[in-house]
Amino acid sequence: MRDWTTHGPDGRPRARGLALPFDGMPGPCNAITDVAGVEVGYCTLIEGDGALRVGRGPVRTGVTAIHPRGRARPFDAVWAGRFSLNGNGEMTGVHWIDEAGFFQGPVVITNTHGVGMAHHGAILWLTRHAGYDAAGTPWLLPVVAETCDALLNDMNGLHVSEAHVREALETAAPGPLREGNVGGGTGMTCYDFKGGTGSASRRVVVEDGARAASHAVGVLVQANFGSRPDLMVRGVPVGRHLPKAAVATPAQGSIIGVLATDAPLLPIQLQRLARRMALGVARTGSCAENGSGDIFLAFSTGNPVADELDDAPARIDHLRHHRLDPLFRAAVEATEEAILNALIGAETMTGRDGVTVPALDHAALVEIMTRHGRMAG
């Protein structure tokens, strides 16, 4: 049986497959889908080559959809919290999350100019869902986030359609995930290399008084940020040892991070977890430049959210604040590894106007890490 922690469904190695050293214990898929119930789907759009013709391409973009409780249960809300490290980006629905501490429906991630269509598509999908109750849920505030793929994609051509959003939502599934040039991450770059979609997870034991419970923490990122000289891999300044980028991407990309956990947590505790994701980004070398939108969302499946139409008092289980450190560490570790999985899973891509962004050279990375004595085992 294939080890999904080290290799993806396409057979390509992940960061652990290159024997990079990591702390903590991943779940069986080393992905956000290790949190029971979470499902992820993609729609990947790759069309055309050559000179940019707005509206015609080349197209290098897509849509990623995350269902917190699975696509069969989009109206079962989850408690949530968010954090904006640098706000040059968009994540819709977060004002209600700040206000009420929960959200319903999927999380959709796409390119910057696709946010409107992704929002539109998510609402259409939700209102056509068999579980939709128009009287009980007269309004919807989908969570839609973005990063900018304009270097490789005809982003002003608005190629993401409602059908593409529906495809990502309908094909969502549990299990191992493809990484790199897929979904919303299709046209993204990271540290002047091809970037995109990455995921990772951790299993942690949390003690609460005389009890101890095992919990899952999973992260999915859309990585589109950073300059090559800044790239750090497990403490090694890898970017400084690699040739200068032929196409240097300005440090105004962005990263969207989504964290899921089955630990029972309050919204304010989930906000604290979302903040720790920024530390995972920092471990890879970024300092969150002015032009980068670095926005993080954390949600928990560990409690039901009370029906808003029910007058009975709602009760929520939660861990005590002083027991959260293992979850904080898991958030940092999984975010760092998810970014590296995005880089290592991506493949060289040529997009608009013949611009080519290379993949991170696996052999060169292993050589540098070996020279610094930082390989696993």
Give 62's contacts (C-beta < 8 A, 6+ positions apart).
42, 43, 44, 45, 110, 160, 164, 168, 182, 183, 184, 185, 186, 187
**DSSP run (H or E) holding 273:** helix 267-283
3 state DSSP class of 54: coil
For this structure, is 199 an active site residue?
Answer: no
- The upper half-sphere exposure of residue 262, i.e. CA atoms within 13 Å in the direction of its Cβ, equals 18
10 Å CB burial of residue 345 (0-12, 13-18, 19+) is: buried
Residues in the chain: 377
From the list 154, 199, 294, 300, the catalytic residue is 294
For this structure, is 161 an active site residue?
Answer: no
From the list 199, 227, 286, 292, the catalytic residue is 292
From the list 254, 262, 286, 300, the catalytic residue is 254
Give 376's contacts (C-beta < 8 A, 6+ positions apart).
16, 19, 20, 21, 22
For this structure, is 292 an active site residue?
Answer: yes
Euclidean distance between the first and the last CA atom of the chain, given in angstroms as a whole number? 22
Catalytic residues, by residue number, are: 254, 292, 294
